[in-house]
């Protein structure tokens, strides 16, 4: 069940990003989000994520987003932690591909939202066999 929830969340994230639907995309992200592992930043929160996403969508900077592979790390009734491989292609041809660890939280309104994301070092992605 946890894998189905997480995979549906990933499909929704891809669909909203590829459609450049900022409101629907940000509804998948918790107000308590913490993104770690981005070079030059200790942690990125909701407002920064929202601004960056809106900028990318409005300026048509994003060509596509996709996720490959799935490895369940831990689960409870209200949390699902998993790893996957994220590929983001920009309209200028730049490709950002990396393993990520994601933590979904079932919030008070019953929706599953991303509350934590960690960009994995290349050796951890390789060890977890996430690299396509």
Q: Do 78 and 89 form a contact (C-beta atoms < 8 A)?
A: no
105 part of a folded domain: yes
The pLDDT confidence band at residue 60, using thresholds 50, 70 and 90, is very high
Tokens of 40: 């030059």
Burial profile 43-72: b = 16 or more Cβ within 10 angstroms, e = fewer: ebeeeebbeebeebbeeeebeebbbebeee
Is 61 part of a structural domain of the chain?
yes
Nearest to 45 by CA among 116, 132, 129: 116
> How far is residue 35's CA from residue 122's CA, in Å, rounded to a whole number?
17
pLDDT at 71: 95
Q: What pLDDT shows up at residue 38?
A: 67
Confidence (pLDDT) at 40: 67
Q: What would the pLDDT profile of 18-51 be if each residue is shown by its tens digit?
A: 999 999 999 999 999 988 876 666 778 899 999 9
Q: What is the side-by-side strand order in the sheet with 62-75?
A: 29-36, 112-119, 95-106, 79-90, 62-75
Q: Which of 3, 30, 49 is nearest to 112 (CA)?
A: 30
> Would 33 be classed as within a structural domain?
yes
Structure tokens at 19: 């459609």
pLDDT tens for 82-103 read: 999 999 999 999 999 999 999 9
Both tokens of 94, joined, read 């730049």
Q: Is residue 132 part of a domain?
A: no
55 belongs to a structural domain: yes
CATH number at residue 75: 3.10.450.50
pTM for the model stands at 0.91
Give the domain extent around 15. Answer: 2-127
pLDDT score recorded for residue 62: 92
Q: Is residue 15 part of a domain?
A: yes
The percent of residues in the chain predicted with pLDDT above 90, rounded, is: 80
Q: Round to whole Å and give the CA distance between 80 and 66.
A: 19
Whether 6 is covered by a domain: the verdict is: yes
Q: What's the confidence (pLDDT) of residue 78?
A: 96
For the chain, what is the mean pLDDT? 92
Q: Establish if 78 belongs to a structural domain.
A: yes
Q: What mean pLDDT do residues 63-85 have? A: 95
For the chain, how many structural domains are there in total? 1
């Amino acid at each position: 069940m946890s894998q189905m929830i997480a995979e549906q969340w990933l499909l929704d994230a891809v669909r909203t990003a590829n459609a450049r639907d900022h409101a629907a995309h940000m509804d998948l992200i918790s107000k308590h989000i913490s993104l770690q592992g981005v070079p030059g930043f200790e942690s990125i929160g909701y407002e920064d994520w929202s601004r960056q996403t809106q900028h990318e969508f409005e300026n048509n900077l994003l060509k596509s987003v996709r996720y490959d592979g799935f490895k369940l790390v831990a689960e409870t009734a209200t949390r699902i932690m998993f790893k996957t491989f994220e590929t983001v292609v920009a309209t200028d041809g730049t490709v950002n591909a990396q393993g990520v660890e994601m933590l979904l939280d079932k919030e008070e309104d019953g929706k599953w939202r991303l509350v934590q994301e960690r960009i994995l070092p290349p050796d951890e992605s390789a060890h977890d066999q996430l690299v396509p």
